Amino acid sequence: MGRALVASFAAALALTAPATAAAASSADVAALQVALRAGGFYAGSVDGVAGPATSAAVRSLQRRRGIPADGIAGPRTRRALGRRGRPRLGSRPLSVADRGWDVAALQFLLATHGFPSGAFDGGLGAHTDAALRRFQAWAGLSADGVAGAATLAALRRGPPRSTLRFRRPLGDLVGDRFGPRGTTFHAGLDFVAPRGRPVGAGASGCVEAAHRDSGGYGKLVVLRHGRGMTSWYAHLSRISVRRGQCVAAGAHIGRVGSSGRATGPHLHFELRRRGAAVDPGGVTG
Ligand SMILES: [Zn+2]
């Protein structure tokens, strides 16, 4: 990488990026957090936010390596991160078995675009490869598992949004929101509610799935709505609808539980647009 590129890359990390570059800039911060975590300097969430915890972690790395501790991940600091500090996203096409800063940035971009792939770890393994191919198909690209210029251009566009308005499936407290959580990405919105609380359909639609999921969702209902949208209701204790049945908004579809991978009773509510998880944060009363 030439000096000019290194300098502009460092500047992008240090400055507030313009809106069009916001996704790429937060992906670089996420890659920095992944590298700092691996070195034991950062214990926070891989959230792509250049906040005080990330600057403090950069300063402790800098002090350890005898670099002036300014908290900014410039070229020397990134060199000190070894192979996790390079190469820059976009400097090479990425495919399975690649590792490094750019892979961590890619994982973050895939997740924020609705295709999370397990832990952010800077290694392009089977999960990231599958997420990459699903994103490529979603974006109308050839699903070849090679993240080159066309894939990165598609990832630099804003994340997909819901095309429909949904109502809250429960009136209870909101727990974890859609977004980074630790080293992974939480693709839905959690409602913390007692076991047995009735769950209502977020919008009118027809039941696409109503079964016990073999993955982490447990007892799951999926409703298909118009305009490419599906809504997902997971960890239920009871399912009250059948596949193929059509329901009105607010109709009772099941009860809160903790089936599947859940630490306690709650509803995991997820929205997908043509398969990409979108932020349900705007659900109304
Ligand atoms: Zn959840």
Separation of CA 19 and ligand 1 centre (Å): 29
Separation of CA 127 and ligand 1 centre (Å): 19
Residue 209's DSSP bridge partners are: 222
3-state secondary structure of 267: strand
pLDDT at residue 24 in the model: 59
pLDDT at residue 281 in the model: 83
Separation of CA 88 and ligand 1 centre (Å): 32
Q: Which of 178, 246, 159 is nearest to 210 (CA)?
A: 246
Separation of CA 234 and ligand 1 centre (Å): 8
Within 10 A of 282 (CB to CB), how many other CB atoms are there? 12
Residue holding tokens 């590792």?
A: 99
Separation of CA 270 and ligand 1 centre (Å): 8
Separation of CA 112 and ligand 1 centre (Å): 15
Separation of CA 281 and ligand 1 centre (Å): 13
Separation of CA 214 and ligand 1 centre (Å): 16
Separation of CA 144 and ligand 1 centre (Å): 30
Separation of CA 267 and ligand 1 centre (Å): 7
Separation of CA 2 and ligand 1 centre (Å): 43
- For the chain, give the mean pLDDT: 91
Task: Classify each residue of 80-119 as buried b or exposed e, where b means 16 or more C-beta atoms within 10 Å of its C-beta.
Answer: bbeebbbbbbbeeebeeebebbbbbbbbbbbbbbbbbbbb
Q: How far is residue 218 from each of residues 32, 51, 85, 204, measured CA to CA in Å? A: 34, 36, 38, 23
pTM: 0.89
pLDDT at residue 79 in the model: 96
pLDDT at residue 32 in the model: 98
Separation of CA 284 and ligand 1 centre (Å): 18
Low-confidence ranges of the chain (pLDDT < 50): 1-20
Separation of CA 217 and ligand 1 centre (Å): 9
Check if the beta carbon of residue 135 is closer than 8 Å to that of residue 115: yes
Separation of CA 264 and ligand 1 centre (Å): 11
Check if the beta carbon of residue 104 is closer than 8 Å to that of residue 35: yes
Separation of CA 116 and ligand 1 centre (Å): 13
